[in-house]
Structure 1
């Protein structure tokens, strides 16, 4: 066991140290504020405080892990062996930067509590983040810092062993619109027909008629193909179904549709089924609970995983609502239109509620790649280069690569053959 001496044990400190040492590095740790216990400890140990005790492994602490609430934080991003880092620790420290305070700043989403201008959907803007500003959004710096820390600790303590950690790939499929034309009912089908006719969208009109006459398969109905690919490559996947009433931003088929319910049950036989929470449930806990309950009635099992519509996360309220609705895992942490690590990590983490100063019982799985972001890239080679770069970063730290594609985009022909792009991605990056 690695013992950590500090002048004060706080919830922030224990949360961060467990994320870095236990969850990322697989190292068992303990804490003490007693100098005599620290001196008596014969195994690996470090000091995390303002001044070293003797000549031990010492990391000079920033104040962030010993404060409460949100305060103005002075950040100066510099380089540590070509890795961006902040919270300079001084020359006496065994590490040039306090990577623990920096890790907490990123994974707690500290900056999202600070004053900022939200976008049209109430989201924190990616371009307002520290990582975007200093060009390290596409690097899982928290994991990189942890690996660098282990190398340095290993030099001091040759017997220190890192726990098992393997690269993982997880494919998330968003099903907020299961079908483009089919299963939409007579009224919505007729309205769509008249709209296509009135706006002279002849291609859609022909396709709509062909689907209606069962001459052609609905373009969004690619579920059998996805299941086949996932089975062949042994892909770990989760299908997020929207199960909500029709609204301005929620336009799936009716939850009463027998075909739609049969589709969900079919997917549930081969993959995990989860809830794509509706736009309307963002700040309505009771609606969120109802959507969860109704989806559970279809699959006849608990639905514990969630994703918020349009990746809307408002910390800490969003996670408090998800906890109240009894979700255990959330997959919304990421940016819709930017490739990268919103929380600076490719390792799942428990959500830390800063106003309450407590680790909450919901695990956050940060995604790195959203199909909306890929649609912003218009050249195939550039698309492949960006995806390769992300894969290499995650593979290097043995993290978790989480991608998000919608069956809607996979059934479209905008810019690329998106099914081909997706198949290439899962084939290349699942191992």
Structure 2
């Protein structure tokens, strides 16, 4: 166990040390404010305070780790070997930056509480982030700092054996609607028919009726393909089905349709299944509660995971609503059109409520790539290149890669042509040594 001496065992200190040491590096961590206990500890140890005690492993602490609430903090980003860092503490410490304070700033999403410009859907955008402005969004900097910390500790404690962590993948399949033409109801089918006619989309019109009449396979019905890929993967895929009511933003299938319920149950036999909440559920806890109960009635087990429609998050209210309903995991944190690490980490982390200064039980699984972000690369070769770059970033720190695809992505037609091959690269990356 790593023992940390600090003058104040604040909630922020406990939170970030447990993420870096335990979640990223696999090492248990304890804390003390007593010098006698620190001296008596016969394994790896360090001090995290304002002044070094002696010649021990020392990191000078930043004030942010002992504050409450938000303050106007100046963040100056510096180069550090092949990465970036901030909260420079000088050369007196064993490492030149307070990586714990910097990690806390990113993991707590401190910057998302500060004034910023939102997009048309009310989302925090990549361009508003520190990572984008200072060109480190493409790196899991928190995990990189953790391994730099490990390397420095290893030099001082060469006999200590660190656990061996391994690269993992967690593919997310988002299902806003399971089918393109099936189960849409009479009025939506008529509306779609007129839209095809007036838009001179005769091929779409032909496909619509051949699918409805059962002569052709619905192009968005890719569930058999994904389940077959799941059978050959040691990592569980996670499906998110939209089962909320129809609205301007959410145009799914009626959750009362037996064939749709059967589909969800069938997928749940092979993959994990979570709830894709509707657009308005983020602002209305009663809607969220209704959708949660509806999914639990289908699955016959407590709901474990959710993902917000349009990747919308309003901090801290969105996550508080999930916690109140005892939803344990969320997969909304990420950027739709930009590849990168929104929270700076490729290791799942617990949500820290800055208003209440408490670590919550909600596990945040930040996604690092959505299929839409790859559409900015025109050629399949460019898509593969960008994908391999982000995978390699995660592999270098033995993290967990979380990509988000949609069921229609695997139709492999139009702009989604070649995405099956892209998906296979991700699955194969987990088998490479």
State the TM-score bracket (shorter-chain normalisation). Answer: over 0.9
CA distance in 1 between counterparts of 2:351 and 2:7 reads 25
Q: CA deviation at 1:261?
A: 0.9
**Residue 410 of structure 2 contacts residue 416 of structure 2 at CA under 8 Å; is this kept in 1?**
no
Partner of 1:327: 327
TM-score (norm 1): 0.97
Partner of 2:203: 203
Which moved further from structure 2: 247-256 or 186-195?
186-195
Partner of 1:90: 90
Which moved further from structure 2: 388-397 or 373-382?
373-382
**Residue 88 of structure 1 contacts residue 96 of structure 1 at CA under 8 Å; is this kept in 2?**
yes
CA distance in 2 between counterparts of 1:233 and 1:8 reads 46
CA distance in 2 between counterparts of 1:268 and 1:341 reads 29
> How large is the Cα RMSD of the aligned pairs?
1.3
CA distance in 2 between counterparts of 1:313 and 1:286 reads 17
* Alignment deviations for residues 133-167 of structure 1 (CA, whole Å, 9 cap, x no partner): 11111110100110111111111011222124221
Partner of 1:395: 395
Partner of 1:224: 224
Q: CA deviation at 1:418?
A: 4.3
CA distance in 2 between counterparts of 1:148 and 1:423 reads 31
Q: Report 1:118-137 matches (<5 A).
A: 118-137=118-137
Which moved further from structure 2: 35-44 or 264-273?
35-44
Partner of 1:238: 238
Q: Which runs of 5+ in 1 are unaligned?
A: none
**Residue 38 of structure 1 contacts residue 45 of structure 1 at CA under 8 Å; is this kept in 2?**
yes
Aligned length: 431
* Alignment deviations for residues 321-365 of structure 1 (CA, whole Å, 9 cap, x no partner): 111122001111111111010000000011000010000111011
**Residue 230 of structure 2 contacts residue 270 of structure 2 at CA under 8 Å; is this kept in 1?**
no
Which moved further from structure 2: 226-235 or 199-208?
226-235
Q: Report 1:78-227 matches (<5 A).
A: 78-227=78-227
Which moved further from structure 2: 30-39 or 235-244?
30-39
Which moved further from structure 2: 403-412 or 390-399?
403-412
Partner of 1:262: 262
Partner of 2:362: 362
Q: CA deviation at 1:124?
A: 0.5
CA distance in 1 between counterparts of 2:156 and 2:326 reads 44
TM-score (norm 2): 0.97
CA distance in 1 between counterparts of 2:304 and 2:290 reads 13
Partner of 1:4: 4
Q: CA deviation at 1:416?
A: 4.4
**Shift in alpha-carbon separation, 1:416–1:253, aligned structure 2, 3 A:** closer
Partner of 2:429: 429
Q: Which runs of 5+ in 2 are unaligned?
A: none
Q: CA deviation at 1:235?
A: 3.9
Deviating beyond 6 angstroms after TM superposition, the runs of 4 or more aligned structure 1 residues are none
Partner of 1:48: 48
